[in-house]
């Protein structure tokens, strides 16, 4: 059993995704070889790429508000209380539409976090 405090998780940022931070509270580092839990934080105005993967995602909005861009490029408002299932190979992206950080948990199979 592991209890992880998010403040103790490394923040991962890349130049390719300005305003986007990823943390991995549960993953291989905690002994979870099958599922990975990631916390994404999008600064106001920031977005993830519009992309697809060959694995599913389970998403829970933790704070802020934004939009989910679906397979047809339609934007759906999402906020705390929104739970999202993204199927394998379904095109998607997230965008912060608010004035505060937009945070969401994203759970994927181990192969989803190379």
Domain harbouring 35, CATH code: 2.60.120.10
- pTM over the 0.85 mark: yes
Read off φ and ψ for residue 29, nearest 5 degrees.
-65, -20
- What is the pLDDT at residue 2? 87
- Residue range of the domain that includes 82: 10-112
What pLDDT, in 10s, does the model give residues 43-88? 999 999 999 999 999 999 999 999 999 999 999 999 999 999 999 9
Domain assignment present for 4? no
Query: How far, in whole angstroms, is CA 78 from its chain's centroid?
Result: 13
> What are the residues facing 26 on neighbouring strands?
37
Domain count, the chain: 1
**Distance between CA 29 and CA 48 in Å, rounded?**
24
- Sequence-distant (≥ 6) Cβ neighbours of residue 53 within 8 angstroms: 88, 89, 108, 112
């Amino acid at each position: 059993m592991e209890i992880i405090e998010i403040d103790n998780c490394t923040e991962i940022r890349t130049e390719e995704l300005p305003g986007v931070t990823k943390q991995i509270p549960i993953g291989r580092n905690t002994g979870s070889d099958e599922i990975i839990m990631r916390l994404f934080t999008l600064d106001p105005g920031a977005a993830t790429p519009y992309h697809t993967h060959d694995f599913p995602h389970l998403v829970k909005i933790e704070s802020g508000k934004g939009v989910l861009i679906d397979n047809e490029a339609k934007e759906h408002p999402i906020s705390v209380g929104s739970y999202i299932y993204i199927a394998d190979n379904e095109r998607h992206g997230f965008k912060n539409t608010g004035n505060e950080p937009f945070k969401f948990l994203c759970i994927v199979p181990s192969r989803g976090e190379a």
